[in-house]
Amino acid sequence: MIRCTGLSVALVLAAGLLAPVTLPAAVAAESSRVAGAVETAGIALIELDGQMSDRQQVMPLFGEGHEVTSRAVIDAIKRAGSRDNVSGLVIRLKDADLNAARVEEFGSAIAQARKAGKKVHIFSDNYGPAELRLGAFADEVLIQKGGGVSLPGIHMEEMFLADMFTWAGIKADFVQVGDYKGASEQYANSKPSEAWNKNIDALLDSMYKVTREQLKAGRKLDDAGLDKAMEVCWMASDEEAIKAGLIDASIDLLDLESHLEKVHGKKVDWQKELGGKHDHAADAAAGNPFALFSKLMNPPEYKIKRSTIAVVHIDGAIVDGESTSGGLMGDSGVGSRTIRRTLSDLEENKLVKGVVLRIDSPGGSAIASEVIWQGVKRLGKSKPVWVSVGNMAASGGYYIAVAGDKVYLNNSSIVGSIGVVGGKFALGGLMEKLHINTVSRSRGPRASMESMANPWSDSDRKLVRQKMEDTYKLFTSRVSQGRAGIDLAKTAEGRLFVGQDAVNLKMADKIGTLADTVGDMATELKLASGSFDVMDFPEPMSFADMIENLAGSFGAGATAPVGQFGASQTIVTSTLAEAARQMLGDQVFLQARSTMGAALQLRREKVLLVTPSVLIFR
């Protein structure tokens, strides 16, 4: 059995190894009574509990890390699907962090397991849209008796802040290049423009179509049947959802084993060892304070040892300089300097046979996007560089994507937003209301453009627009250079597209997951299965680096940005971030924070490649 749950992951997925999962006593007792002479059905269990990440953030001291990564889950599903002694697979969802990209990538692995003859069951206490979409890939969808189901559709709310800013005395002074860009509208407008309405409505239509097609195919429903199911199941009981065709059966967890025995026609044999032997020495070392001290002094190496396909993660707002973590609301920034250094190291390493850029970013700094683009093109001269898009490669994220040789998308991946936005917030009116008197002094012909009190003059705005048009021209030239045959009249000016629509418009090459991207690259490079490694970059932080970063966050050291108040600021920021997460929910919180982090770069850079904040509520 496989258990992918929080801090117990190290005991479960270490070295591809599977450890026992905690089951109800009645289930475990029943399993232990199965006699060896009785024909059995080997069943593997994967539990997905809480938050996941696309890569390991901190290098583990002992064995594998505690962080549950998407690829580890996918590998676990594939391992279960490849074993001769496994007849079926149960995926139990326990408040799992499922976004659209993970649903499709886990679903692809489930499809492979089913193709290999394994029956896949999904079990959850409750089902929302993400859980139902994952269930559409399985043979059977099970719900805890008494559980609830919600499939309301896609609902989006945008906040337009111009009237509030006017009341507060703030002037949102923005310019955008691209009629459909929309990134400045929420600040500068009281309602959406006609172009933005058209853009976002088309995007939502495409996203809704993807969701419906997956549910119809997986649940064998026609349009009328799905419409009826959604009408009933905006909030439904388990029995109502079964009647609507979204769920197969309602059972108590304690009866899971007996249910599986009926489905498979055999006694259940829970598979406990689907991999190699467990590293008990690592477990013992983890509890040994002397071994811990030794590991702290001599951290494990993150070293390429044989032929490798490197996965470089560009996940978050794109910023100048070094990558950051734990900023506004806990967001991370992908630094151009960090990525360029990583790409240079991979270029020089002869064991790296190819590189996949895994992009999940709303964009950010125009300068940083160009710097990373340059690095990708340089690397591409010596080895293949392909791109896999997670949830989004928009604006600056798409700018980087077009530098790759091939671009793979999930069906729900959002790409595009080829446009530029620039501006600042003029706070003069707010300061006046607060009775704050400011005195400005400038030296130099354009120094007053930096004023935080006053909006730009007409001549200032003309200069900003010229810079933005230059950036837009460079952006579109990069797209044309990287995507042969693309029609910018249909794809540029800030338009957004999803999955297959983007492929049809030549914005990408193929629908496929990260695993598909890596697999196809390995085939092209003639790397046999099992003969190469897949490694994530930038490499995880060492434990010592993590401690140093934490110390810096709490004001230790002369470089702390707020000196003696660093600890207070960190605590307040963390508290506000957690409050926002609880109020908005994980899906909206995680989606919003990267875009907000990207937009905040207006403090340093007046021209950005960033897509608008789109909040999609369940």
Map residue 313 onto helix, strand or coil: strand
Whether residue 120 is predicted with pLDDT greater than 90 in this model: the reply is: yes
Q: How many domains does the chain have?
A: 3
The range of the structural domain enclosing residue 561 comes to 544-584
Q: How confident is the model at residue 234 (pLDDT cuts 50, 70, 90)?
A: confident
Q: Indicate the helix (H) or strand (E) that contains 73.
A: helix 70-82
How does residue 412 score in pLDDT terms, banded at 50, 70 and 90? very high
Query: Is there a single domain that holds both residue 477 and residue 359?
Result: yes
Mean pLDDT lowest among 197-211, 238-252, 435-449, 583-597: 583-597
Comparison of pLDDT for 310 and 331, the residue scoring more: 310
Shared-domain flag, residues 322 and 343: yes
Q: Is residue 26 predicted with pLDDT exceeding 70?
A: no
Instruction: For residue 176, count CB atoms less than 10 angstroms from its CB and return exposed for 0-12, middle for 13-18, buried for 19 or more.
Output: buried
On the question of pLDDT at 36 being above 50, the answer is no
Within 10 angstroms of residue 222's Cβ, the number of other Cβ atoms is 9
Provide the token pair at 333.
């920034």
Q: Determine how β-strand 40-49 pairs with β-strand 88-94.
A: parallel
Q: Is the pLDDT of residue 610 over 50?
A: yes
- Residue 46: which CATH number? 3.90.226.10
With a CB cutoff of 8 Å and minimum separation 6, the contacts of 251 are: 142, 143, 144, 145, 259
State the Cα–Cα distance between residues 311 and 314, nearest whole angstrom: 10
Is 254 within the bounds of a domain? yes
Query: Tokens 């080829």 label which residue?
Result: 418
Report how far residue 144's alpha carbon sits from residue 252's, in angstroms, rounded to the nearest whole number.
5
Tell whether 493 and 437 lie within a shared domain: yes
**Residue-by-residue DSSP string for 88-151:** EEEEEEES----HHHHHHHHHHHHHHHHTT-EEEEEESSB-HHHHHHHTTSSEEEEETT-EE--
For residues 361 and 446, membership in a common domain is answered with yes
User: By the 8 A CB rule, do 73 and 53 touch?
Assistant: no
Lowest mean pLDDT of 143-147, 563-567, 568-572, name the range: 563-567
Q: Which of 109, 145, 107, 138 is nearest to 124 (CA)?
A: 145
Does one domain contain both 490 and 601? yes
Highest mean pLDDT among 20-29, 308-317, 566-575 belongs to 308-317
> Tell me, what DSSP letter sits at residue 442?
-
pTM here? 0.79
Does 297 fall in a domain? Answer: no
State the Cα–Cα distance between residues 594 and 257, nearest whole angstrom. 42
Of 104-108, 226-230, 388-392, 540-544, the range with the lowest mean pLDDT is 540-544
Mean pLDDT of all residues in 488-506: 94
**Peptide bond connecting 538 to the previous residue in cis, omega within 30 degrees of 0:** yes
Let me know: does 18 contact 272? Beta carbons within 8 Å.
yes
What's residue 435's pLDDT? 86
Residue 176 placed within a domain: no
User: At 291, is the secondary structure helix, strand, or coil?
Assistant: helix
**Which of 171, 175, 178, 603 shows the shortest CA–CA distance to 422?**
175
**Is residue 82 in a domain?**
yes
498 pLDDT band, cuts 50/70/90, is: very high
If you write DSSP's letter for every residue of 508-539 in order, what string do you get? -SEE--HHHHHHHHHHHTT--TTSSEEEEESP
CA dist 93 and 98 (Å) reads: 10
More confident residue, 559 or 600: 600
- Which of 134, 124, 72 has the alpha carbon at shortest distance from 93? 124
| 286, part of any domain | no
Any idea which residue has 């978050």 for tokens?
Answer: 316
Of 221, 253, 270, the position where a domain reaches its end is 270
Residue 551 and residue 492 in one domain: no
Smallest Cα–Cα separation from 597: which of 573, 575, 571? 573
- Both 70 and 120 in one domain: the answer is yes
Q: Strand locations in 159-198, DSSP E?
A: 171-177
For residues 227 and 273, give the distance between their C-alpha atoms in angstroms, rounded to a whole number.
Answer: 44
Distance CA 537, CA 358 (A): 10
Same domain, 513 and 551: no
Q: Do 442 and 568 belong together in one domain?
A: no
The vertex-552 CA angle with 546 and 554, nearest 5°, equals 110
If you average pLDDT over every residue of the chain, what do you get?
80
Report yes or no on 216 lying in a domain: no
| 384 backbone dihedrals φ, ψ, rounded to 5° | -65, 140
Question: Is 111 inside any structural domain?
Answer: yes
Q: Taking each helix axis as running N to C, give the angle between helix 25-32 and helix 256-264, from 0 to 180 degrees, rounded to the nearest 10.
A: 40
Shared domain for 459 and 490, answered yes or no, is yes
Residue 207 lies inside a defined structural domain of this protein: no
Would you call 274 helix, strand, or coil by DSSP? coil
pLDDT digits (tens, 9 = 90+) for 132-186: 999 999 999 999 999 999 998 888 878 888 888 889 898 888 888 888 887 788 8
Give the C-alpha distances (Å, rounded to integers) separating 129 from 103, 345, 378.
10, 41, 42
pLDDT at position 564 is 37
Q: What is the pLDDT of residue 445?
A: 79
Strand 420-426 relative to strand 171-177, pairing: antiparallel
Residue among 130, 114, 11, 129 at smallest CA distance from 62: 11
Residue 593 has pLDDT above 90, yes or no: no
pLDDT digits (tens, 9 = 90+) for 317-366: 898 888 876 544 445 688 999 999 999 999 999 999 999 999 999 898 89
Whole-angstrom distance, CA of residue 52 vs CA of residue 598: 22
Both 591 and 579 in a single domain? no
What CA–CA distance (Å, rounded) separates 116 from 27? 27
Q: 459 and 314, same structural domain? A: yes
